[in-house]
């Protein structure tokens, strides 16, 4: 029995199973168990329909920077809805929140980025990128420069362009993707693919794959390289320290655009405003979403560098692209208040100076657990590689993903949301997480590892 009545959870599960198709979900297995029903949240904590309080170690879906229950965001949205709930930004019109948000984004993003194109999600941001880079090269009089180079196991969203730019083989299989004109190179995933090389050597090798692809396909046919600073959905792949410096060397020699997908790393996740600040990158285009509004309302954007804006605005005519809800007033109001909170409360600096060092020390300490092959973390985003035999990176569990899923479900039961990618656990908590919540988080993570270890040894899956 809870505040919602005896059969509340079962009722919601039943109608959900009957009518709701979920994203990225195997419905047979979901409906066998029943959906978990989340009813409310506050700070870093979720409450489900049975009254359980769960620590949200994934910040929703990598987006809840400022924590749940921010009254000032609710108020800003309510005020905007009352004043002007909707108007478009086509046909030579604008409105106050869109104009002010574009100005604010020009302030917080790298200095050479001064224009924002608004969309409603990270996927739409990457669709916009796809079209804008090609349009740019057409305007530059180089219409043969059309190929975009991405990376295997990258994630750039789930629309046709997002899926194509991303490097998820299972997604490509559904829908016969990628579309033509996208080429994928290796990812800088040392733990999984580094072989006998040191991380530093492997980072150079993975970066040189970009140069090799450009050489092989022809620089005069390449439009852009797209990458996440740290791959998120691919399993929090933190590149070796040599990777980005080497990529920068390659790009300095080649006339192609750099697209840095900041949908996860943006807005403080790495203890800097953007991943581009952390790795000292100079993107030509920068897709943003998620932490832009802390998920309070859907909004995304593409930050456009002066180099690209000068051509697209200066040389181009009409760019036939945009969405009914581009720069939606209420979503812009939510984003503006979210950024005000990040700035006024010094949240990004607090991540850098306090929360990230504190969590990192404890998280990396989990590497002593017999089930953990590697613990890694930058800022407040990290992963634990679960392995059957510690010290042997090449040995994997027999059916990839099974142990990850089992352990993730145990974590939920222990009151902590972590996500599983293959057989790793990943973590990306709200940026406002406190030290005592970090202690709680790490204790629950360790208990989960112990539980999983006991279960796996019972099943005979450990070396």
For the record, the structure tokens of 177 come out as 């993707």
Per CB under 6 A, the list member of 156, 352, 376, 419 interacting with ligand PLP is 156
Three-class DSSP labels, 150-184? EECCCCCCCCHHHHHHCCCHHHHHCCCCCCCCEEE
Residue 261 contacts ligand PLP per CB under 6 A: yes
DSSP-assigned beta bridge partners for residue 231: 237
Piece in contact with ligand PLP (CB under 6 A), picked from 152-160, 268-276, 311-319, 442-450: 152-160
Q: If you write DSSP's letter for every residue of 267-334 in order, what string do you get?
A: TTTTSSSSHHHHTT---SEEEE-GGGTTTSS--EEEEEEHHHHHHHHHT--------TTTT-HHHHHH
Piece in contact with ligand PLP (CB under 6 A), picked from 257-265, 357-365, 392-400, 416-424: 257-265
Q: Closest residue (Cβ) to ligand PLP?
A: 122
Q: What track of x and - describes contact with ligand PLP for positions 53 through 82 (by CB under 6 A)?
A: ---------x--------------------
Piece in contact with ligand PLP (CB under 6 A), picked from 121-129, 200-208, 376-384, 435-443: 121-129
Residue 429 contacts ligand PLP per CB under 6 A: no
Per CB under 6 A, the list member of 209, 289, 302, 347 interacting with ligand PLP is 289
Q: DSSP secondary-structure letter at 114?
A: E
Piece in contact with ligand PLP (CB under 6 A), picked from 115-123, 198-206, 347-355, 397-405: 115-123
Nearer to ligand PLP, 283 or 300 (CB): 300
Cβ neighbors of 223 (< 8 A, separation 6 or more) are 133, 134, 136, 137, 145, 146, 147, 148, 256, 257
Nearer to ligand PLP, 43 or 275 (CB): 275
Per CB under 6 A, the list member of 49, 65, 109, 121 interacting with ligand PLP is 121
Nearer to ligand PLP, 145 or 151 (CB): 151
Per CB under 6 A, the list member of 110, 122, 203, 404 interacting with ligand PLP is 122
Per CB under 6 A, the list member of 108, 251, 263, 341 interacting with ligand PLP is 263
Residue 110 contacts ligand PLP per CB under 6 A: no
Pairing of strands 419-421, 424-427: antiparallel
| Residues 264 and 232 sit within 8 Å (Cβ to Cβ) | yes
Per CB under 6 A, the list member of 54, 233, 335, 359 interacting with ligand PLP is 233
Place of tokens 């750099």: 258
Using CB atoms within 10 Å of the CB of residue 26, give its burial: 0 to 12 exposed, 13 to 18 middle, 19+ buried: exposed
Piece in contact with ligand PLP (CB under 6 A), picked from 129-137, 149-157, 276-284, 317-325: 149-157
Place of tokens 């033509």: 180
Nearer to ligand PLP, 167 or 373 (CB): 167
Burial 405-424 (b: 16+ CB within 10 A, else e): ebbbebbbebbbbbbbbbbb
Q: DSSP secondary-structure letter at 377?
A: E
Residue 228 contacts ligand PLP per CB under 6 A: yes
The greatest distance separating any two alpha carbons of the chain, rounded to the nearest whole angstrom, comes to 68
Piece in contact with ligand PLP (CB under 6 A), picked from 116-124, 132-140, 266-274, 395-403: 116-124
Residue 155 contacts ligand PLP per CB under 6 A: yes
Q: What is the CA radius of gyration of the chain?
A: 22
Residue 296 contacts ligand PLP per CB under 6 A: no
Cβ neighbors of 415 (< 8 A, separation 6 or more) are 52, 53, 54, 55, 444
Per CB under 6 A, the list member of 57, 60, 178, 232 interacting with ligand PLP is 232
Q: Which residues bind ligand PLP (CB under 6 A)?
A: 62, 121-123, 126, 155-157, 228, 232-233, 261, 263-264, 289, 300
């Amino acid at each position: 029995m809870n505040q919602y009545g005896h059969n509340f959870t079962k009722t919601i599960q039943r109608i959900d199973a009957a009518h709701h198709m979920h994203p990225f979900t195997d419905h047979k297995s979901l409906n066998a168990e029943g959906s978990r029903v989340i009813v409310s949240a506050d700070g870093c904590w979720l409450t489900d329909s049975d009254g359980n309080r769960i620590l949200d170690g994934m910040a929703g879906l990598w987006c809840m920077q400022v924590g749940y229950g921010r009254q000032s965001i609710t108020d800003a949205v309510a005020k905007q809805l009352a004043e002007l709930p909707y108007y478009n930004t086509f046909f030579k019109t604008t409105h106050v929140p869109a104009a002010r948000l574009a100005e604010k984004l020009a302030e917080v993003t790298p200095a050479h980025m001064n224009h924002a194109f608004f969309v409603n999600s990270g996927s739409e941001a990457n669709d916009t990128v796809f079209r804008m880079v090609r349009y740019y090269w057409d305007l530059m009089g180089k219409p043969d420069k059309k190929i975009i180079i991405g990376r295997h196991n990258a994630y750039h969203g789930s629309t046709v362009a997002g899926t194509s730019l991303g490097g998820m083989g299972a997604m490509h299989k559904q829908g016969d993707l990628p579309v033509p004109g996208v080429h994928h190179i290796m990812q800088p995933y040392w733990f999984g693919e580094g072989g006998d090389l040191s991380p530093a050597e492997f980072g150079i090798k993975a970066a040189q794959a970009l140069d090799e692809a450009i050489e092989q396909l022809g620089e005069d046919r390449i439009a852009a390289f797209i990458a996440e600073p740290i791959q998120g959905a691919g399993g929090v792949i933190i590149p070796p320290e040599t990777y980005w410096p080497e990529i920068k060397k390659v790009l300095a020699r080649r006339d192609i655009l750099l697209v840095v997908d900041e949908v996860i790393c943006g807005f403080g996740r790495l203890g800097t405003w953007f991943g581009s600040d952390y790795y000292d990158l100079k993107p030509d285009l920068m897709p943003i979403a998620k932490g832009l509004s802390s998920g309070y309302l859907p909004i995304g954007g593409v930050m456009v560098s002066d180099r690209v804006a000068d051509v697209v605005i200066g040389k181009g005519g009409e760019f036939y692209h945009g969405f009914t809800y581009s720069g939606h007033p209420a979503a812009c109001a939510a984003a503006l208040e979210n950024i005000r909170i990040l700035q006024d409360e010094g949240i990004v600096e607090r991540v850098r100076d306090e929360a990230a060092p504190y969590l990192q020390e404890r998280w990396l300490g989990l590497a002593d657990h017999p089930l953990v092959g590697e613990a890694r973390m930058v800022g407040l985003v990290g992963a634990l590689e679960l392995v059957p035999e510690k010290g042997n990176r090449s040995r994997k569990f027999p059916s990839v993903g099974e142990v990850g899923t089992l352990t993730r479900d145990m974590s939920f039961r222990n009151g902590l949301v972590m996500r599983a990618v293959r057989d790793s656990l990943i973590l990306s908590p709200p940026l406002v997480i406190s030290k005592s919540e970090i202690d709680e988080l790490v204790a629950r993570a360790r208990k989960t590892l112990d539980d999983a270890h006991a279960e796996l040894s019972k099943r005979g899956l450990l070396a």
